[in-house]
Structure 1
Amino acid sequence: MTTHTELPPMRERLLDVGDKKIFVAETGDGSPVLLLHGGGPGASGVANYARNIGELAKEYRVVVPDLPGYGRSTKGVDGADPFGHLADGIRGVLDRLGLERAHLVGNSYGGACALRLALDTPDRIDRMVLMGPGGIGTTRALPTPGLNSLLNYYSGEGPSRLKLEKFIRDHLVFNAADVPDEVIDARYRDSIDPEVIAAPPLRRPSGPNALRTLWRMDLTRDRRLARLPVPTLVLWGAKDKVNRPEGGRMLADRMPNCDLYLAANTGHWVQYERAELFNRLCADFLAGRR
């Protein structure tokens, strides 16, 4: 597995999107590609895709936002409809950048955001790559140990570096040694931002409308999947302990234009653990190369 993480120079800005600010970094020229990061504690766009941005920027205009609730973007996510809230924010990014259409690449929480955005406004999306996306069959089985670990991070005794390390090393990746200590240290620092602790962006639904929220968050129950025209590549780690790999087959069975690739000996972080494979498959698929 490659460990090359050198980033090209990136243009950074805060975009006003409705009543929130969304941080965006971008580099490269060509067709625009938005990289949407996962929802784990301390996640952010550039850090999540550090092994991919440089390669994709050789062919594409790579736009990397911090999702609402994360990084340098405004904190807080609508707990009643988190996927819709994220999708609305990223659609606002497209509007602010003057992009009528773009490719989407989404990992986990970002994958759920991408899919919801495509379902709501398919005319804005050219092609889409999803890696272990959230919201796939979530009401059909109990949460995985990895997802429970993620959702419990801010509960109980609260966040700690040990809890984050266990989540990353025990659940997020196939080979714990692939993640250096400095990655965990940086994620932990970001995870204990007081604004994030006050409003965790990914939490277990609760309250009187919890069941309705859970149902809404299971995107495989959305009838629009069966007629979604967006060409989609689903990449899933065969050893994913956060979102079940069977979700890939669910999407391939329901979506009319969906390719599925299952990566052996890979966990939830396909773009990080199998960067060279991901970069090649992603670049080729977005360009329409088979």
Structure 2
Amino acid sequence: MTTHTAPPPMQESLLDVGGRKIFVAETGDGPPVLLLHGGGPGASGVSNYARNIAELATEFRVVVPDLPGYGRSTKGIDLTDPFGALATGIRGLLDRLGLDRAHLVGNSYGGACALRLALDTPDRVDRMVLMGPGGIGTTRALPTPGLNSLLNYYTGDGPSRLKLERFVRDYLVFNAAQVPDSVIDARYRDSIDPEVVADPPLRRPKSAATLWKMDFTRDKRLNRLAVPTLVLWGGADKVNRPTGGRMLADRMPDCDLYEVANTGHWVQWERADLFNQLCAAFLAGRR
């Protein structure tokens, strides 16, 4: 089994962004790259990209925030337009860091955040790498079993380690045996933060208007979004359907698509070596 370099020592900050706090870890030197994590229970920036930070930091300034509502950032987001709320927070973070432009790398919920930020303010984004982003065809089919598992985590009898383990092992990855118990334990601990339990940042949309805002394939701006984009999608993704990759490639004018065989929703973790190589090359313009 391939071993992965542990994340290097990182400078940590808790920054005020529009009256809310966003936690950020940074390392490396070079063009700035923001790594935006997914929205599963217990998710956070450094944990989601633990197998990628060190390798990318050899070439880039790697900035890893906890998205609004997650980790050590201020809890709660505007659930009437969640992707817009996330994009506003991360755009404010760019301002706070003094960055006019940056590369964006986003997995799942973080991919939706990156895409919304690019649609609203394309001048702030150099290049994007999206891994199984949310919001692709969300109004055109029923939710997947994996997405239902994610959305049901805080409902019913509430969060539990068993529910978290089932989501990660049954839906997040292709090969459940690769996920150590320590990953499950850490995510479960973070998922039961009382502030998160009281106000989960990812929930079922309560109105059709909100749901339509969360479907990028209905946004006409997508057809003219010229930001160079690489889409990586696990061929066995059970959370967001791999057909979403083709939808993006068909609509965006400068979009490369790479479907990764025998891989689930967590491409950057399951196929870290491949991801690190493709991501670094694409962001550096070595397409």
TM-score, normalised with respect to structure 2: 0.99
Partner AA of 2:272 in structure 1: A
Cross-structure match for 2:265: 268
Is 1:60 the counterpart of 2:60? The answer is yes
Q: 1:246 aligned to 2:243?
A: yes
Residues 1:228 and 2:213 aligned together: no
Give 2:233's aligned amino acid.
W
The alpha carbon displacement at 1:4 in A equals 1.8
Alignment of 1:123-134 (within 5 A): 123-134=123-134
Would you say the 8 A contact 2:28–2:62 is kept in 1? yes
Q: Deviation of residue 19 (structure 1)?
A: 1.9
Deviations 1:226-260 (A, max 9, x none): 00010000000000000000000000000000000
Q: State how far apart, in whole Å, the 2-side matches of 1:40 and 1:282 are.
A: 22
SS in 2 for 1:135: coil
TM superposition shift of 1:220 = 1.0
Q: Secondary structure of the equivalent of 2:128? A: strand
Contact 2:145 2:239 in 1 (8 A): yes
- Spell out, residue by residue over 1:249-290, the C-alpha distance to the aligned partner (whole angstroms, 9 max, x if none): 000000000000000000000000000000000000000002
* Structure 2 CA distance for aligned equivalents of residues 205 and 214 of structure 1: 6
Superposed displacement of residue 47, structure 1: 0.2
Q: Which runs of 5+ in 1 are unaligned?
A: none
Matched residue, 1:26: 26
- Looking at structure 1, the residues matched to 140 and 108 of structure 2 have their Cα atoms a distance apart, in angstroms, of 18
* Partner Cα separation in structure 2 for residue 52 and residue 221 of structure 1: 32
SS at match of 1:164: helix
CA contact (8 A) 2:33 2:60 kept: yes
Give yes or no for contact 2:172–2:237 (8 Å, CA) kept in 1. Answer: yes
- The answer to whether the 8 A contact 1:3-1:51 is kept is no
Alignment-derived partner of residue 47 in structure 1: 47
Which residue does the alignment assign to 1:256? Answer: 253
Question: Which amino acid in 1 is paired with 2:164?
Answer: L
SS in 2 for 1:189: helix
Q: Residues 125-274 of structure 1: matches in 2 within 5 Å?
A: 125-206=125-206, 210-274=207-271
* Matched AA of 1:153: Y
Report what 1:109 is aligned to. 109
Deviation at 1:68, TM superposition (A): 0.2
Q: CA 1:149–1:23 in structure 2 vs 1: closer, same or farther (change >3 Å)?
A: same
Tell me the alpha carbon deviations over residues 47-73 of structure 1, each in whole angstroms, 9 at most, x when there is no partner: 000000000000000000000000000
Q: CA–CA distance in 2 between the matches of 1:96 and 1:192?
A: 30
Work out the CA distance in 1 between the residues paired with 2:219 and 2:2.
37
Say if 2:132 and 2:242, in contact at 8 Å, map to a contact too: yes
> Which amino acid in the other structure matches residue 260 of structure 1?
L
Residue 5 of structure 1, CA deviation: 4.7
Deviation at 1:170, TM superposition (A): 0.3
Cα shift at 1:3: 4.0
Q: Quote the Cα distance in structure 1 between the aligned partners of 2:5 and 2:70.
A: 21
In structure 1, what is the Cα distance between the partners aligned to 2:208 and 2:60? Answer: 41
Q: Is the 8 A contact 1:2 1:274 kept in 2?
A: no
Following TM superposition, by how much is the alpha carbon of 1:211 offset from its aligned partner in structure 2, in angstroms?
0.6
User: In the aligned structure 2, how far is the partner of 1:69 from the partner of 1:55?
Assistant: 27
Root-mean-square deviation (Å): 0.7
DSSP 3-state at the match of 1:63? strand
Instruction: Structure 2 unaligned segments of length 5 or more: list them.
Output: none
Deviation digits for residues 70-114 of structure 1, max 9, x if unmatched? 000000011100000000000011000000000000000000000
